[in-house]
C-alpha cells in the first residue's frame, strides 16, 4: 500500500492542532452550513481568492492555516487518469497509478439498466477515492446530435430521457464514496470541431426539451456536487461563465448548491467569470514569464486580476463569498467528511463490474439464420480478421485516455473462450493507426506492418475460404479525426478501407460476423451481405472477454442502441436541416444554428419518414419475447392524476434473456409541433424460457408536457394521447389510447 495516497485522509481524521489553530473540520456534530459560516469568518480575502483557481494542472489550494485540504481533480469518466507532473501534461512517472478501464459511457447507456449505472459509479468512485481524488471529471451527458462528434463515445446517446435516467445512479454511486461527480459539459457541447469558438444558436424550447434534461436530472435527482462548463459559446458568452446557463438556469431555476468548474482553458474573461456563475478556474492559458509573476497561476482570470478589482473597489465580495461557500460545501462533502470511505483499486470486483457492464451494453444488430452464438463443431476453425482485434483501445481519445493494469484484446478473449474447442487463426486484414501513445502513456504494442493492403486482403480472403466462421473486428479507434476529443470525424464511413475487406470476406465465407468497435454510428454499405453484426463499443479492460462472452453465448446480448444509426450522413438532422460545423464570422467565431430544433435523433427520422439503418432502442437477443395486449386502469387522467398501463411480456424462446420494454408517448393533438413519439419510460426485465412477467408503467402529467417558450414553463394540453410500448422506437408491439382532461 502506498501511504502517499492517504496522507490527506489521515489529516482529516486527526484531532491534532494544525498551525496553532484547531482545524475547522473537527466538529462532527455541526451542520455543514454552520461549519461553513464559521470558516468564512476566519478566511482572509486573499485566501478566498486563492481557493478559486488552480495551483497545478489538477489541483486547487486549500487553506493550510485552517487545515482545509487541497481539492484534487481527476479525469474520468471511464477510469482514473494517470498522474501528471505538477505544471505539465507529461506523465509523472508513477508506477502505481494504473487503473481498471470501464466501458465507455455510450456502452453504459446501451445497457438501459440503471443498476449497471450505479455499479459503474460505485466502482469508479472507489478507484478515485483510493487515489485520494476529490472530484471525478465525469460523467458526460451531452446529446448525440451528429455522428461525426469525436466525443460521442463519452456521452449517453441522443435521447434526453434515457440520458437522464442513466446519469442519476452513476452520480449517486460515485458520491457514495465521498468523491464528487462532475457532470459535463454544460451545455450545448455537441461537436469537437471549433469547440472553443462555436456559438450555438438554439431556441429555448429545444434547449429545455433536448439539451438540458440530463443535466437537470443530475442536479435535482442525482444531487451532483459539481458541474463542468463547456468550451463553446451560447448567446455569445462562453459557457464556463454564461449568465443564462449558470446563473439563471443552473443556480436559479434548479437551485444548484454545488461548484461550477471550468473546463481546462474554458475561462476567457475576469469580469464574466466573477459575475456569471463560475466558481473554480482550471487550465487557463497564461504567460507567466512576460507577466513577471512568481506563480503563473496567479495570472488566472479569477486570481490576481480578481483580487486587484476587489482592492480597488471596482467589485465587491458578494460573488466571492458565494463561490467560496460552494467550494467549502464541496470540501465538507468530500475531503473533510469524517466518515469518508477509503476506496479500493484494481480489485477483481471492479474487473467483474467492467465485464458485466460490457456484456449488457453490447448490441446485437443483426443475426440472420441465428448464426450467433457460435457453437464450435468438431475440427472447427475460426478466422479473426481486423486491427481492432489486437489494438489496445484504452490509450488515446483525449482526456479519457487511461493507463491500465491490463486490457484483454478481442483476440485474447476469443482464444480464452474457444481455446481447445476450435482453432483460432488471425489475419490483419487492414492497417489503421499503428501508433500506441497518448500523453506519455504507451501501449507497448508494435503494430507496424510491411505488407501492402493487397497482400493483407489476399491473405484474409484465402484464410476465410477455409474457415468455418469468420469474425471481422474493426470499426473506429481513438485516433485523431475518429472517436477523439478535439476533433470530429471526416465522414460516416469506416476508415482504412475496411468496407472493401468486409465485402471480400462476405464473398469468401457466408458465416461472416462483423464486430464494430466504436462510440459512433458508422455506414454499412455491405449490410445485406453480412448475416451478423455486433456493436461492441469501447469496452475497457475486459473488452475481449465481454465480446467473447456474447459471441459464444455465455452472455445473451441485451443492449439497445442509445442513438440512431443512419444509412447516410445526409439523413442526420444536423447535416440536412441544421448547421454543421456552422458559419464563420469576421471575429473568428463560428455560429452554428440548431435549425432542426427538437427533432433530434429518432424524432427527426420519424418526422421526415426516413428509414434508418438501425433505429434508436434497437437490439436483438438469442431468445424471443412476445408482448401481450396493453391495458390501463383508466381511459382518462386529470392534471394532478396518473394512469397505470400494464402488459405481459413472455420469453418464448429457449434461452434466458433480458428485454428492454420501452414506453413512448404520442400526442394526437397539439398547438406546437411535437414528435411522433417520445421515450418516457423503460424497464429491463430478465425472463427464463417460458416465463411471463407483467410490466407496469405509470404515466403522469409531466410525461405529456412540452416546454412553452412564451410561458417559460412546461405545458400539458388536454386532449388525446397514445401510450406506445415496444422493443425499439421502430418496433411498437402494443398501444393504448387515453385522454388528459
Cell numbers 465480446 label which residue? 547
665 and 528, same structural domain? Answer: no
Is the same domain home to 423 and 460? yes
* CB of 738 closer than 8 Å to CB of 637: yes
Catalytic annotation present for 263: yes
Among residues of the chain, what percentage have pLDDT more than 90? 92
Work out the end-to-end distance of the chain between its first and last CA atoms, rounded to an integer number of angstroms.
64
The whole-number average pLDDT for the span 448-453 is: 96
Number of structural domains (the chain) is 3
Q: At which of 506, 536, 555 does a domain end?
A: 555
Last residue within a domain, chosen from 506, 540, 555: 555
Predicted confidence (pLDDT) per residue in 226-279, tens digit? 999 999 999 999 999 999 999 999 999 999 999 999 999 999 999 999 999 999
Q: Which helix (H) or strand (E) holds 214?
A: helix 213-220
Q: Take residue 554 and report the three cell numbers written for it.
A: 455465455
User: What digits encode the pLDDT tens for the residues 201-210?
Assistant: 999 999 999 9
Residue 301 has pLDDT above 50, yes or no: yes
Q: Based on the fold, state whether residues 176 and 226 are members of the same structural domain.
A: yes
Contact 65, 47 (CB under 8 A): yes
pLDDT bin (cut points 50, 70, 90) of residue 88 is: confident
The answer to whether residues 68 and 336 touch, using CB atoms and an 8 Å cutoff, is yes
- 173 vs 31, which has greater pLDDT? 173
Same-domain check for residues 321 and 366: no
- What is the predicted pLDDT for the residue at 285? 79
Residue 505 near residue 473, CB atoms below 8 Å = no
Q: Is 585 a domain residue?
A: no
Question: Quick one: 289 and 220 in the same domain?
Answer: yes
CATH of the domain at 128: 3.20.20.300
SS3 track for 567-592? CCHHHCHHHHCCCCCCEECCCCCEEE
Residue 611 forms part of a structural domain: no
Of 179, 178, 97, the residue nearest 137 (C-alpha) = 179
Beta-bridged to residue 686, according to DSSP, are 658
Distance CA 153, CA 175 (A): 23
Whether residues 281 and 374 share a domain: the answer is: no
88 CB neighbour count, 10 Å cutoff: 11
318-348 pLDDT, tens per residue?
A: 999 999 999 999 999 999 998 999 999 999 9
**Residue range of the domain that includes 212:** 25-333
Q: Are residues 121 and 251 in the same domain?
A: yes
At 295, the pLDDT band (50, 70, 90 cuts) reads confident
Residue 406 belongs to some domain of the structure: yes
Are both 282 and 408 inside the same structural domain? no
DSSP string for residues in 296-328: GGGGSTTSHHHHHHHHHTSS-SHHHHHHHHHHH
- The DSSP line for 614-629 is B-TT--B-SS-EEE--
Does residue 17 sit within a domain? no
| Residue 381 belongs to some domain of the structure | yes
**How many CA atoms within 13 Å lie on the side-chain side of 152?**
29
Report yes or no on 308 lying in a domain: yes
The catalytic residue among 70, 75, 97, 263 is 263
Residues 4-60 have pLDDT tens digits of 333 333 333 333 333 344 444 444 445 999 999 999 999 999 999 999 999 999 999
State the CATH number of the domain containing residue 528. 3.40.50.1700
- My answer on whether 509 and 402 are in the same domain is yes
> Residue 293 domain-assigned?
yes
Measured CA to CA, the distance from residue 398 to residue 153 in angstroms comes to 11
Q: How many CB atoms lie within 10 A of CB 348?
A: 8
Name the residue with cell 451481405: 529
Are both 387 and 324 inside the same structural domain? no
Q: Are 99 and 402 in contact (CB under 8 A)?
A: yes
Say yes or no to pLDDT of 455 above 60: yes
- Find the mean pLDDT for residues 115-128: 98
Q: What is the CATH number of the domain that holds 741?
A: 2.60.40.10
Q: How many CB atoms lie within 10 A of CB 574?
A: 24
Residue 530 confidence (pLDDT) above 90: yes
3-state secondary structure 628-644: CCCEECCCEECCCCEEE
Asked if residue 234 and residue 100 are part of one domain, the reply reads yes
Higher pLDDT, 1 or 542: 542
Beta-bridge partner residues of 590: 198, 584
Cell of 534: 455486433
Looking at the structure, tell me whether residues 72 and 209 fall in a common domain. yes
pLDDT at position 296: 85
pLDDT at 289: 47
Mean pLDDT (the chain) is 94
Stated pTM of the model: 0.95
Domain final residue pick, 508, 537, 555: 555
CB 156 within 8 A of CB 167: yes
Instruction: Determine the average pLDDT of the residues in 666-683.
Output: 96
Average pLDDT rounded to a whole number, residues 67-89: 95
Q: Is 601 domain-assigned?
A: no
Amino acid at each position: 500500500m502506498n501511504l502517499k495516497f492517504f496522507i490527506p485522509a489521515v489529516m482529516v481524521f486527526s484531532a491534532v492542532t494544525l498551525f496553532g489553530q484547531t482545524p475547522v473540520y473537527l466538529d462532527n456534530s455541526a451542520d455543514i452550513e454552520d461549519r461553513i459560516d464559521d470558516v468564512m469568518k476566519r478566511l482572509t480575502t486573499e485566501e478566498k481568492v486563492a481557493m478559486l483557481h488552480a495551483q497545478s494542472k489538477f489541483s486547487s489550494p486549500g487553506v493550510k492555516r485552517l487545515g482545509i485540504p487541497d481539492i484534487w481533480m481527476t479525469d474520468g469518466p471511464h477510469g482514473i487518469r494517470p498522474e501528471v507532473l505538477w505544471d505539465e501534461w507529461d506523465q509523472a512517472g508513477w508506477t502505481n497509478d494504473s487503473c481498471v478501464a470501464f466501458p465507455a459511457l455510450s456502452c453504459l447507456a446501451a445497457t438501459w439498466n440503471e443498476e449497471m449505472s450505479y455499479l459503474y459509479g460505485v466502482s469508479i468512485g472507489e478507484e478515485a477515492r483510493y487515489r485520494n481524488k476529490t472530484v471525478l471529471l465525469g460523467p458526460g451527458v451531452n446529446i448525440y446530435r451528429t455522428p461525426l462528434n469525436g466525443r460521442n463515445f463519452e456521452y449517453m446517446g441522443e435521447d434526453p430521457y434515457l440520458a437522464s435516467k442513466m446519469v442519476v445512479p452513476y452520480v449517486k454511486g460515485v458520491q457514495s464514496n465521498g468523491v464528487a461527480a462532475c457532470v459535463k459539459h454544460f451545455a450545448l457541447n455537441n461537436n469537437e470541431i471549433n469547440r472553443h469558438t462555436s456559438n450555438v444558436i438554439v431556441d429555448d424550447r429545444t434547449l429545455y426539451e433536448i439539451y438540458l434534461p440530463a443535466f437537470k436530472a443530475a442536479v435535482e435527482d442525482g444531487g451532483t456536487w459539481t458541474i463542468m462548463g463547456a468550451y463553446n459559446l451560447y448567446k455569445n458568452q462562453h459557457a464556463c461563465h454564461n449568465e443564462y446557463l449558470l446563473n439563471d438556469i443552473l443556480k436559479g431555476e434548479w437551485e444548484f448548491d454545488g461548484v461550477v468548474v471550468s473546463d481546462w482553458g474554458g475561462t476567457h474573461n475576469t469580469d464574466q467569470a466573477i459575475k456569471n456563475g463560475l466558481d473554480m478556474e482550471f487550465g487557463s492559458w497564461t504567460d507567466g514569464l512576460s507577466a513577471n509573476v512568481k506563480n503563473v497561476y496567479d495570472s488566472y482570470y479569477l486570481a490576481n486580476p480578481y483580487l486587484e478589482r476587489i482592492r480597488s473597489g471596482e467589485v465587491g465580495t458578494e460573488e466571492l463569498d458565494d463561490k467560496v461557500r460552494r467550494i467549502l460545501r464541496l470540501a465538507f462533502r468530500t475531503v473533510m467528511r469524517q466518515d469518508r470511505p477509503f476506496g479500493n483499486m484494481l480489485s477483481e470486483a471492479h474487473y467483474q463490474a467492467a465485464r458485466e457492464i460490457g456484456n449488457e451494453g453490447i448490441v446485437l444488430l443483426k443475426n440472420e439464420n441465428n448464426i450467433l452464438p457460435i457453437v464450435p463443431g468438431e475440427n472447427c476453425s475460426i478466422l479473426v480478421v481486423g486491427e481492432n482485434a489486437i489494438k489496445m483501445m484504452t490509450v488515446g481519445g483525449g482526456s479519457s485516455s487511461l493507463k491500465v493494469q491490463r486490457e484483454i484484446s478481442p483476440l485474447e478473449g476469443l482464444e480464452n473462450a474457444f481455446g481447445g474447442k476450435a482453432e483460432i487463426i488471425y489475419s490483419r486484414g487492414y492497417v489503421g493507426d499503428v501508433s500506441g501513445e497518448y500523453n506519455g502513456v504507451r501501449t507497448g504494442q508494435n503494430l507496424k506492418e510491411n505488407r501492402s493492403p493487397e497482400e493483407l486482403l489476399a491473405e484474409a480472403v484465402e484464410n476465410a475460404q477455409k474457415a468455418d466462421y469468420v469474425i471481422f473486428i474493426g470499426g473506429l479507434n481513438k485516433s485523431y479525426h475518429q472517436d477523439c476529443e478535439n476533433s470530429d470525424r471526416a465522414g460516416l464511413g469506416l476508415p482504412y478501407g475496411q468496407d472493401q475487406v468486409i465485402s471480400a470476406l462476405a464473398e469468401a465465407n457466408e458465416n461472416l460476423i462483423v464486430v464494430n468497435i466504436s462510440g459512433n454510428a458508422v455506414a454499412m454499405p455491405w449490410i445485406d451481405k453480412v448475416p451478423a453484426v455486433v456493436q461492441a463499443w469501447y469496452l475497457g479492460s475486459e473488452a475481449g472477454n465481454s465480446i467473447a462472452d456474447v459471441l459464444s453465448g455465455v452472455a445473451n446480448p441485451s443492449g439497445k442502441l442509445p442513438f440512431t444509426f443512419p444509412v447516410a450522413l445526409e439523413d442526420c438532422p444536423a447535416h440536412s436541416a441544421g448547421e454543421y460545423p456552422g458559419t464563420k464570422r469576421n471575429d473568428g467565431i463560428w455560429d452554428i444554428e440548431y435549425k432542426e430544433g427538437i427533432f433530434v435523433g429518432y424524432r427527426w427520422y420519424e418526422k421526415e419518414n426516413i428509414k434508418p439503418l438501425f433505429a434508436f432502442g434497437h437490439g436483438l437477443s438469442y431468445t424471443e419475447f412476445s408482448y401481450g395486449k396493453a391495458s390501463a386502469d383508466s381511459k382518462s387522467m386529470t392534471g394532478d392524476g396518473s394512469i397505470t398501463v400494464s402488459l405481459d411480456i413472455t420469453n418464448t424462446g429457449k434461452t434466458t434473456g433480458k428485454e428492454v420494454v420501452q414506453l413512448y408517448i404520442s400526442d394526437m393533438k397539439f398547438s406546437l409541433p411535437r414528435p411522433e413519439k417520445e421515450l418516457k419510460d423503460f424497464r429491463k426485465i430478465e425472463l427464463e424460457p417460458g416465463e411471463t412477467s407483467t410490466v407496469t408503467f405509470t404515466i403522469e402529467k409531466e410525461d405529456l408536457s412540452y416546454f412553452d417558450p412564451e410561458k417559460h414553463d412546461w405545458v400539458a394540453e388536454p386532449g388525446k394521447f397514445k401510450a406506445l410500448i415496444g422493443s425499439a422506437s421502430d418496433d411498437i408491439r402494443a398501444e393504448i389510447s387515453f385522454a388528459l382532461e
